[in-house]
Structure 1
Amino acid sequence: MTFSIVGRCQQTGQLGIAISSSSIAVGARCPWVRAGVGAVATQNVTLPALGPQVLDLLASGQFDPAAALDRALGASEWSEYRQVTVVDSQGRVAFFSGKEALGTYHAVAGVQCVAAGNMLAGVHVIEAMVPAFEQTSGALADRLLAAMHAAMAAGGEAGPVHSAALKIVGDVSWPMVDLRVDWADDDPIGQLDGLWRAYRPQMQDYLTRALNPTAAPSYGVPGNE
């Protein structure tokens, strides 16, 4: 039902997730990011609470990703139904796929990234994602989306994909990128890519508005945020 990639940019320290699903509004339940802490994708019969729980454990400074994931999963009696991936602010990674994960499932760790999915057309779908992330240059969003396109080119899910999301944090406490396609009958990943292309030229302006309104550009739109 879902495939995703969590990753860290070694140049900027940004942390992010790209994810898609056959279910509606995957971005509302599955991707969790926290600036300076990490990124967590919780999927497959999703327990959204696992995202904040793992991030809280990482933020405490007492747990690496593997230990944080083990602790969070150990507190739930239904952990074998979950699939979770983690990358922290140092680029360390961890992942878990329970034995009750749906259909064909797989997870692969790469350099400061993890790709995972379930109900897949085949394990090769996930194996295509990590090289795409590692070999793509540019912004973290571009690299995450390249991995998603590679997954679709390799066959994607066993059924149709209907929703997709992209979430990235940088130096501020709120997401610098938080884009979602909650439902589409056709190519939600392509639509998400289009949203990113439209948002990218304005991304820095919105950060400037928040941090120093006197330096922010105006778009001349009444009521503009």
Structure 2
Amino acid sequence: MTFSLIARCPRTGQIGAAVTTSSIAVGSRCAFAAAGVGAVLTQHRTDPRLGPRGLDLLRSGCTAEETVAALSASTPHAGWRQLAVLDAAGRTAHVHGAQVKPERNAAHGEGVVAIGNILSSDQVPAAMVAGFLAAANQPLAERLLRALEAGEAAGGEHGEVTSASLLVMWRESFPYVDLRADKAAQPLAALRALWTEYAPLAEGFVARALAPDDAPVI
């Protein structure tokens, strides 16, 4: 009961992910990304070990398609896994294991892939990609959030979502954005409020790490 996407901004090189589901703490389990490397989504009967493993494969030079194939071949429970991968060049790939429950689907666009399971409609991933692509002039975090909102507007999952997360990696090893709403009555609205507050502060938090003598007071 999850819908999510990963994407790359061709203008800045930022790589990010956004995900929402009916269970708690989705941000700690499903989305993994690294600056200059790519991103991995692992969901349904989620195995968080596949995220770091997928990033290691991308670092070794594997494409998105090669990474998905290797992850599927190396896990003994591949039938329960739903995976998506984005590489540093913006190429995307996905796989639905045979035991991933319907409605399930995926949609791809330039530099973006969306996946979902136990959805109200198999058109939810396509709506997410359309929402992402329609906001091409916006920062990556905003585009990812709009995609989640478009997925929810298209019917979302088969049930109420209670947690959501937004992750963006940029030039550093630490996240540029890492926001999470857990056990919220309206997690996407809560995530939207967090992003609205955080957006003007993001550069300041990076400055605090890189140049603390001149960093702004936040």
TM-score tier (shorter):
over 0.9
Q: Which residue identity lines up with residue 124 of structure 2 in the other structure?
A: V
1:53 is displaced (CA, Å) by: 0.6
Cα deviations by residue, 1:18-69 (Å, 9 ceiling, x for unpaired): 00000111011001011110111110000001111110011012x1111111
Distance 2:143 2:122 in 1: 20
Cα deviation, residue 165, structure 1: 0.3
Mapped partners of 2:48, 2:187: distance in 1: 22
Separation in 2 of the partners of 1:206 and 1:194? 18
Q: Do the aligned residues in 2 keep the contact of 1:104 with 1:122 (CA within 8 Å)?
A: yes
Matches for 1:75-154 after TM superposition, within 5 Å: 75-136=74-135, 137-154=137-154
The alignment status of 1:13 with 2:13, answered yes or no, reads yes
CA distance in 1, matches of 2:31, 2:158: 21
3-state SS, counterpart of residue 7 of structure 1: strand
Q: C-alpha distance in 1, partners of 2:125/2:90?
A: 19
The percentage of counterpart residues that share the same residue type is 44
Deviations 1:136-194 (A, max 9, x none): 0210011001111101111111100000000110001111100001211x210111011
Partner of 1:181: 181
Instruction: Name 1:222's counterpart in structure 2.
Output: none
Question: Aligned partners of 2:187, 2:211: CA distance in 1, in Å?
Answer: 34
Counterparts of residues 144-223 of structure 1 (less than 5 Å): 144-184=144-184, 186-219=185-218
Counterpart AA for 1:97: H
Give the drift of 1:103.
2.6
**Greater Cα radius of gyration, structure 1 or 2:** 1
The question of whether the paired residues in 1 share the 8 Å contact of 2:67 and 2:85 is answered with no
> Aligned residue pairs: how many?
217
Match for 1:129: what amino acid? M
Contact 2:101 2:117 in 1 (8 A): yes
Deviation at 1:104, TM superposition (A): 0.7
| Matched position secondary structure for 1:103 | coil
Unpaired segments of 5 or more residues in structure 2? none
> 5+ unaligned residues in a row in structure 1: which ranges?
220-225
TM-score with structure 2 length normalisation?
Answer: 0.97
User: CA separation in 2, counterparts of 1:96 and 1:103?
Assistant: 14
Question: Which residue of structure 1 aligns with residue 71 of structure 2?
Answer: 72
Question: Match for residue 34 of structure 2?
Answer: 34
